[in-house]
Amino acid sequence: MNLCMIGCSHKDAAIDVRQQLAFDNRQTLEALDCWRSKFPNSELALLATCNRVELYAAGATDSEELTGALLDYRNVSSKQVEGHLLTLNDSDVVRHLYRVTASLESMVVGEPQILAQVKQAYQSAQDVGSTGPLLHDLFQSALRTARRVAGETKLHKHRVSIPSVAIADLASCVFESFDDKHVLVIGAGEMAEETLRYLHDVGKPHVHVINRNAERGKKLASQWAGQYHPWSELWSQLVEADLAISTTSASEPVVTAEKYDELVTPRRHQRALCVLDLAVPRDFDATIADALGVYLYSLDDLAKVCTDNQSARAAELPKAEGIITQETRRFWVDANHRAAVPVISNLRQELERPKKAELERLFQKLPDLEEPVRREIEQFADRLVNKILHPPMESLRDASQEGTPHGLLDAVRRLFQLED
């Protein structure tokens, strides 16, 4: 078996290096189609995300040829990526893909997006026709392994990024569902966008964006099918909001306790308002938390949950690693067994030929044998062939379990002059 992976990730390469090797969905399909023609005897799949670019191959293709093909396609010289490309072979490839798919190699360990990205990578390879039986088994087993990690550990249940904790651990304690909730986003930076992304994964709220820069505010609102409001509507929007997410860069609180008590509290009638204040310094005056119906969480509250979740997640890692080890061994044993099957089948066929020829010769010399005697002789011949086959089959089975059957397979082929 010949498995190979060439690539880089956030662990090996800075973002400027990864950007040089980046592929979008269309480029992935085009590259695989190109490489399929260049390497007709290899199976190929390309996993390309914002944090990694990895080319997987099965077949007789040399790793240097694959590296050259990857770099040439992106017009990148070897000097530009020197020291940043990772090359793995055989069992290391299996283990690596399992870890990637289970999110053990992610920038945020346990993030769920990578599973869908691995599925998409395999689907793209199927669409182009660049995959085959070995990569099929590899990617399907990687997805199965990821499901085991998700189902048998709590790794994915402990979120560790500020936006994910804000939505999953805190806001979800206030609302059972975010469907049709009035969500007010104050500010239009990266933190606001990422928080909305997590919110979109768990519900279908009505998004309203307020930002001093109208262009950026409208862009964020449009991205999430929301509505932009000018800064002057801040207080009226707070009256309507169920969830407020604030991420401005203001040096002073934009929502003071005095203004909130005057303009918002009397009009809300104690309706629940969850406030996720993700700004530094705070956007909401801390004493607003004392108002009836207000659940105010600051960045300090979120950081504490993140730290607690990080510890809980670390405790789950040994269990996840154990599953990866089990499944890697299982894949290799199954693959070795499949490699041994045609050799054993050919060996049996080679022994069947002389057996049948000798039985035919014997029966021609003894034409008067009664049928029960003929059957007994045939059974004797079958038992003899099975006994001859038993030792090599046992040895091949043991070698498959140990992961080293290929030398023995070659020896059997040569000894019995079997065809490949």
Please check whether residue 378 is in contact with residue 384, taking contact to mean a CB–CB distance below 8 angstroms.
no
Nearest Cα neighbor of 125 from 57, 213, 207, 201 is 57
Q: Looking up tokens 């979008």, which residue turns up?
A: 24
What per-residue confidence (pLDDT) applies to 164? Answer: 73
Both tokens of 216, joined, read 């950026």
**Residue of higher predicted confidence among 296 and 411:** 296
Beta strand 3-9 with 294-297 is: unpaired
**The CATH classification of domain 162-297, taken from the options 3.40.50.620, 3.40.50.720, 3.90.1210.10, 3.40.50.2300:** 3.40.50.720
What per-residue confidence (pLDDT) applies to 388? Answer: 83
Please check whether residue 396 is in contact with residue 405, taking contact to mean a CB–CB distance below 8 angstroms.
yes
Q: Which residues are catalytic?
A: 50
Please check whether residue 199 is in contact with residue 178, taking contact to mean a CB–CB distance below 8 angstroms.
yes
What per-residue confidence (pLDDT) applies to 271? Answer: 92
- Digit-coded pLDDT (tens) for 235-249: 999 999 999 999 998
Helical axes 63-73 vs 25-38, angle rounded to 10°: 140
- pTM exceeds 0.85 for this model: no
Both tokens of 24, joined, read 């979008």
- Digit-coded pLDDT (tens) for 247-284: 998 889 999 999 999 999 999 998 999 999 988 888 99
Element (H, E) at 316: helix 299-365
Cα–Cα distances in Å, from 53 out to 3, 50, 79, 125? Answer: 17, 8, 17, 15
- Digit-coded pLDDT (tens) for 123-145: 999 999 999 989 999 999 999 99
Helical axes 91-101 vs 299-365, angle rounded to 10°: 140
Both tokens of 33, joined, read 């189609």
Looking at the structure, give the CATH architecture of the domain made up of residues 3-152: 2-Layer Sandwich (3.30)
Would you list the domain boundaries of the chain? 3-152, 162-297, 339-415
**In this predicted structure, which of 88-97, 124-133, 335-344, 383-392 has the lowest mean pLDDT?**
335-344
Residue 224 — very low, low, confident or very high, per pLDDT cuts 50/70/90? very high
Give the mean model confidence (pLDDT) for residues 170-194: 87
Percent of the chain with pLDDT over 70: 92
What per-residue confidence (pLDDT) applies to 71? Answer: 92
